[in-house]
Amino acid sequence: MTADPTARSLPREPLGDAHLRRLIVGQGLAAVVDALFLIWLTLFVLKLSQPGMATGFVLVAVALPRAALLLPAGVLVDRLGPARIAAGAAWLRVAVLLALGALVTLTSPSVTAVALLAALLGVADAAYFPAALALLPGVVPNDRLARVNALVQGAESGGDLIGPAVAAGVIAVVGFDATLGGIAALAALAAVALSMAVRALRRGESAGDVVDPQPAEGEQLSTARALGAGLSYAWREPVVRGMLAAIALINIAVVGPVLVGGAVLADQRLGGAGSLGIVLSGFGGGSLAGSLVAGWRPPARRGWTVVGGVAAIGAGMAGLAAVDDVVAATAVVSLIGLGSAFLGVVVVATLQERVPQRLLGRVLSLVVLATVAFDPFSYMLAGVLVPLGTTLLFLVCGSAVLACAALVALSPAMRSLR
């Protein structure tokens, strides 16, 4: 594994270096921008057309290119370096938001035009996510990766927690045009912070200090072969394989059932659909707490921590089958959020430490793909099971996640992971 030049060029004390502080601020702002823009986009499309297919069409326009391009983007990150890709993707976001702002302000846009620009944001996301994750190991020593990841993911959880209310409130006061302008301004601040943070990295890349771009271990320069090398590594390594499988299963068993099943549960047992917002805010609060706890006290036995995090999520899902009031439901969903966020920090920090630098972008793109690509299947699962009752839905999904925790615990590589 080639040594990372950034580790030599930047001070090693986390948060004591201006580049690192800017990197954390830039990634945190980018996460808040994502949360705000999703609400803006949903409400704006609802304004353009009646609820239904149009909203789904635009959201799919964002999700499809993001999912389809994540793995090729991981190859690009490994070839060109995460610094260039992260900064370029951040500025692409700004350009698309400005173009969308001009379209909204100067014309009466169609849903199709909005969807096409939203798809470009999906392209930017596909490049940005693995690059942003791959940046950190070059700047932060291994024993502080969990803490820095916790700060970044905590900003994301905070954005998810307050983003919907803030975006909806600002839209109600100043309108769609001005709100989008504010989101674009935040995206520009994020891009500036990221660009300043990676300036030293880019200088090192220009000097030729980074990983030799020549193929290693027989790997060819073609995108297909490079991608195959990353997939092969992830499959051969039991720790990587187990973590990716756990993330994918949790995504399938939690996202759709909590959103779809939670809406039905709120209507049937919790006093009406309005209580769903309170319950989901519990997930955001639990996620924020889980991120901060994982960063404050990184676990000594990571393998068993992964098992415990998966088990906590499974127990929370199964517990939703028995709740019959808003307080209990919010507490249980908070446990799910806490376990998910804690697990996310541990998994990402572990992979950042263990994966060879030349493969890091590809492996982290798999992590992001496992997080976002299975949403349609999760919604389908919820749609099939909801008619059979929310009790069965949550018991089935919770049992599946608990079974996953048991399988992870059976892996010697995972049990010995520290």
Say which range, 54-58, 117-121, 226-230, 311-315, has the weakest mean pLDDT: 54-58
As a whole-number percent, the residues of the chain with pLDDT over 90 amount to 13
Number of neighbouring beta carbons within 10 Å of residue 289: 17
Longest CA–CA span in the chain (Å) reads 63
Confidence of residue 273 (pLDDT cuts 50, 70, 90): low
Supply the angle between the helices 238-256 and 223-236 in degrees, to the nearest 10: 90
Q: What angle do CA 251, 380, 241 make, to 5 degrees?
A: 30
**CA–CA distances in Å: residue 271 to residues 256, 268, 278, 311:** 21, 7, 12, 29
Supply the angle between the helices 326-354 and 238-256 in degrees, to the nearest 10: 160
- Euclidean distance between CA atoms 124 and 65, whole angstroms: 9
Supply the angle between the helices 390-410 and 262-269 in degrees, to the nearest 10: 140
Highest mean pLDDT among 8-17, 95-104, 229-238, 251-260: 95-104
Identify which of 131, 101, 117 has the alpha carbon closest to the alpha carbon of residue 27: 131
Confidence of residue 201 (pLDDT cuts 50, 70, 90): low
Q: What is the pLDDT of residue 100?
A: 93
Residue 116 predicted with pLDDT over 80: yes
Mean pLDDT of 88-115: 91
Q: What is the pLDDT of residue 212?
A: 36
Q: What is the pLDDT of residue 17?
A: 63
Question: For 219, phi and psi rounded to 5 degrees?
Answer: -70, 130
Q: What angle do CA 92, 95, 101 make, to 5 degrees?
A: 140
Q: What is the pLDDT of residue 182?
A: 92
Residue 261 predicted with pLDDT over 50: yes
pLDDT tens sequence across 203-216: 544 444 443 344 44
Cβ contact 249:404 at 8 Å: yes
Mean pLDDT over all residues of the chain? 80
Residue 158 predicted with pLDDT over 80: no
Radius of gyration of the chain from Cα atoms? Answer: 21
Number of neighbouring beta carbons within 10 Å of residue 343: 24
Which tokens is 381 given? 């699962």
Mean pLDDT of 314-333: 88
Identify which of 33, 255, 252, 197 has the alpha carbon closest to the alpha carbon of residue 124: 33
Confidence of residue 95 (pLDDT cuts 50, 70, 90): very high
Pairwise pLDDT comparison (97 vs 49), residue with the higher score:
97
Pairwise pLDDT comparison (196 vs 78), residue with the higher score:
78
pLDDT tens sequence across 374-406: 777 888 888 888 888 888 999 999 999 999 999
pTM: 0.77
Pairwise pLDDT comparison (388 vs 56), residue with the higher score:
388
Place of tokens 């939203």: 118
- Euclidean distance between CA atoms 190 and 33, whole angstroms: 9
Q: What is the pLDDT of residue 51?
A: 54
Mean pLDDT of 285-290: 82
As a whole-number percent, the residues of the chain with pLDDT over 70 amount to 85
Q: What is the pLDDT of residue 163?
A: 67
Half-sphere exposure of 115 (CA within 13 A, CB side): 17
Half-sphere exposure of 299 (CA within 13 A, CB side): 23
Q: What is the pLDDT of residue 1?
A: 36
Mean pLDDT of 189-200: 80
Distance between start and end Cα atoms, the chain: 20
Pairwise pLDDT comparison (72 vs 374), residue with the higher score:
72
CA 184 to chain centroid, in Å, comes to 20
Q: What is the pLDDT of residue 258?
A: 84
Amino acid at 144: R
Identify which of 318, 331, 319, 329 has the alpha carbon closest to the alpha carbon of residue 275: 329
Pairwise pLDDT comparison (300 vs 312), residue with the higher score:
312
Q: Which helix (H) or strand (E) holds 238?
A: helix 238-256
Residue 141 predicted with pLDDT over 50: yes
- Euclidean distance between CA atoms 85 and 74, whole angstroms: 10
Q: In a 10 Å sphere around its CB, with 0-12 CB exposed, 13-18 middle and 19+ buried, how is residue 275 labelled?
A: buried
